[in-house]
Amino acid sequence: MKVVVTGAAGQLGQDVLKELERKGHEGIGAGREQLDITNEEAAIAFIEDVRPDAILHCAAYTNVDKAEEDEDNAYKVNALGTEYLAKAAKKVGAKLLYVSTDYVFDGNAKEPYEVDHPTSPLGAYGRTKLAGEELLKKNLDEFFIVRTAWVYGIYGNNFVKTMLRLGEERGEVGVVHDQVGSPTYTVDLAAFIVELIESENYGVYHASNEGICSWYEFAVEIFKQAGLDVKVNPLTSDKFPRPAARPKYSVLSKKKITEQGFTPLRDWKEALAAYLEESKR
């Protein structure tokens, strides 16, 4: 397959390109320089020129706090950009997969969110990503939406890198313990995304590594596996105020992955070990 990957320079995009290559597909990485998804004419022209079999839409406005005061730009990227790619995909008959987020939910659940659970975003980032989902559905009858959470990989800034840096600098960190979810390693997410796009099993999926932890428990495990002696102090979210509210409960039900016969993502602790090994290379 010939596959266009948006956000190709990003944390997920780079691992998606590597996975496409590993599986023998032709991955065409499109960063902002090659493809401005916020320009409808340019986006459609690019896709019409390349004529891919599939588009893996990993590009996003992901600065959750900045989005609160910059919602117009977040909407252009997350919502309109997705709509323009959907129109382009329809024109050339390409499959389209859109990477979405746990932030479409309010985090008030007590059990893992199913794919059809009512959405209720808390802030601008979640609103604009949800708008992208809705515009995608409006323009295409068949599509893939993959919601994920707590993403980290070797190519971007993320929680694991921040913890390792702060742990080495300070020897003591404070981390919230009242936000719960499942970390997601980009290598594992990329493998699922490529497996999904190879299929005709359209719809909405939730994908994160197996298991559940708080950010505090995640930090403790990071230092344990990295062999660092760092004191981790549990904090409540109100001790760590941010412009955008975070969902307290971000656990996504991955039931549909196994129901549709796809390979489940491994346990988050195993994935963390693989990440730490990869980051040494």
Domain chopping of the chain, boundaries = 2-157+184-210+251-266
* CATH for the 2-157+184-210+251-266 domain, from 3.40.50.261, 1.10.3720.10, 3.40.50.720, 3.40.50.1220: 3.40.50.720
Give the C-alpha separation, 276 to 245, whole Å.
29
For the annotated catalytic residues, the residue numbers are 125
In which band, very low, low, confident or very high, does the pLDDT at 148 lie, cut at 50, 70 and 90? very high
**What angle separates helix 215-226 from helix 159-170, to the nearest 10 degrees?**
60
Residue 119: predicted pLDDT: 97
Residue 242: predicted pLDDT: 86
Q: Does the structure show a pLDDT above 70 at 112? A: yes
Tokens of 247: 């969902």
Beta 151-152 vs 54-57: how paired, if at all?
Answer: unpaired
Question: Residue 214 half-sphere exposure, CB side, CA atoms within 13 Å?
Answer: 16
Q: Cα dihedral sign for 16, 22, 24, 26? A: positive
Report the percent of the chain where pLDDT is more than 90.
Answer: 94
Provide the whole-model pTM.
0.97
Give the C-alpha separation, 164 to 246, whole Å.
22
- The rounded Cα 235 to chain-centroid distance in angstroms is 25
In which band, very low, low, confident or very high, does the pLDDT at 238 lie, cut at 50, 70 and 90? confident
Report the percent of the chain where pLDDT is more than 70.
Answer: 100
Q: Does the structure show a pLDDT above 70 at 159? A: yes
Residue 281: predicted pLDDT: 63
Residue 268: predicted pLDDT: 98
Give the C-alpha separation, 3 to 95, whole Å.
9
Q: Does the structure show a pLDDT above 80 at 240? A: no
Taking residues 23-39, report their average pLDDT.
Answer: 94
Query: Mind listing the pLDDT tens digit for each residue in 175-207?
Result: 999 999 999 999 999 999 999 999 999 999 999
Q: How many other CB atoms are there within 10 angstroms of residue 57's CB atom?
A: 28
Longest dimension (CA), the chain: 56
- Collapsed DSSP state (helix, strand, coil) of residue 235: strand
Query: Mind listing the pLDDT tens digit for each residue in 41-79?
Result: 999 999 999 999 999 999 999 999 999 999 999 999 999
Q: Does the structure show a pLDDT above 70 at 10? A: yes
> Residue 155 burial (CB < 10 Å; 0-12/13-18/19+)?
middle
Taking residues 166-170, report their average pLDDT.
Answer: 94
Position 132: which residue type? G
Q: Does the structure show a pLDDT above 70 at 267? A: yes
Residue 142: predicted pLDDT: 98
Taking residues 100-107, report their average pLDDT.
Answer: 97
Residue 241: predicted pLDDT: 83
Mean pLDDT across the chain, nearest whole number? 96
Q: Does the structure show a pLDDT above 80 at 218? A: yes
